Homo-oligomer: A and B are copies of this chain.
């Protein structure tokens, strides 16, 4: 039971290795009969091509990388599903890298990609990502990059986002219509385009309704749920007038609810809450949560599709298109009007 490789197939069939290789690739240069024979023997011998050898030979790895901050948030979990689905369908493999919201890790990871390990990258940048030299550098090496959800503005490549500004605007309007007057916005990054846009939508809604935008109505949260809860408790305690909260990430929902519970601020009677949220549990929260849910799966799928299309066309430069998939606002009890 020797190693069975292309050479072995060649000997067995009295063909050259190049013919085998081409036959397996369904090359037009090989006759139908020969292809047939090769395919059959390959199946019979259970031949598995060595991916490293083909990657080396062809300098194409059939592998893409997914670089994301975390995988806790349902958003990223769903997005991975979408990405994996199209990759698997097209014979690509998916490497996962987590940056844990740290720029340095993101840089190191992307830097390593210059080796040709992956053919392309789908990325959602970390909360710390201000500088984008590492991304530019990677692109300069010819590795296509597609953003999804969290994009860096100063890199002009394809990006798949959702209508953040509008969603935040809608959410804010919704709260205002429900008679909220003092709205907090919970953010995890002010410089992320996504953060800025959500703030912008929030701001726009406020001014359109004649409400003042105050910079300290924006609460900068971190990664630790406990710390965030404490921060929110302190904020709510210090400002009893707050009657509405917009949480821009799923993770902050728990801290928000807990803070309200702790201070006996009733949702929605005292404080109304809306959150960007993608888990099905929204409907069974206490109270059920009004959500802005992003089309996470679709976004992942779209991003991967764009990337793979670019990979199929060797000379194609990924144009700076921006695919925007709409989020949807689902109204539940956390913003119910009272009485």
Contacts and interface: CB of A to CB of B under 8 A. Distances in A.
Interface of A: 46, 48-53, 55-56, 61, 63, 66, 70-72, 74, 77-78, 80-81, 84-85, 88, 93-98, 111-112, 114-117, 225, 253-254, 257-258, 261, 279-281, 283-288
Nearest to A85: B98
8 contacts: A48-B114, A50-B115, A71-B80, A72-B77, A77-B77, A88-B98, A93-B95, A257-B283
A51 to B, nearest CB: 5
A283 B85 CA distance: 32
Contacts of A117: 51-52, 93
B72 A72 contact: no
A117 B257 CA distance: 46
Contacts of A287: 286
Nearest to A105: B88
B288 A48 contact: no
Given A96-B84, A254-B284, A56 B50 contact: yes
B48 A112 contact: yes
Contacts of A85: 98
A50 B52 CA distance: 10
A77 B56 CA distance: 33
A254 B225 contact: no
A66 B288 CA distance: 34
Contact of A281 (B53, B61, B96, B279): B279
**Residue from A80, A117, A285 with most neighbouring chain B CB atoms (10 Å):** A117
A11 B225 CA distance: 54
A50 B51 CA distance: 14
B77 A98 contact: no
A56 to B, nearest CB: 4
Given A71-B77, A95-B94, A51 B116 contact: yes
Contact of A96 (B48, B94, B115, B286): B94
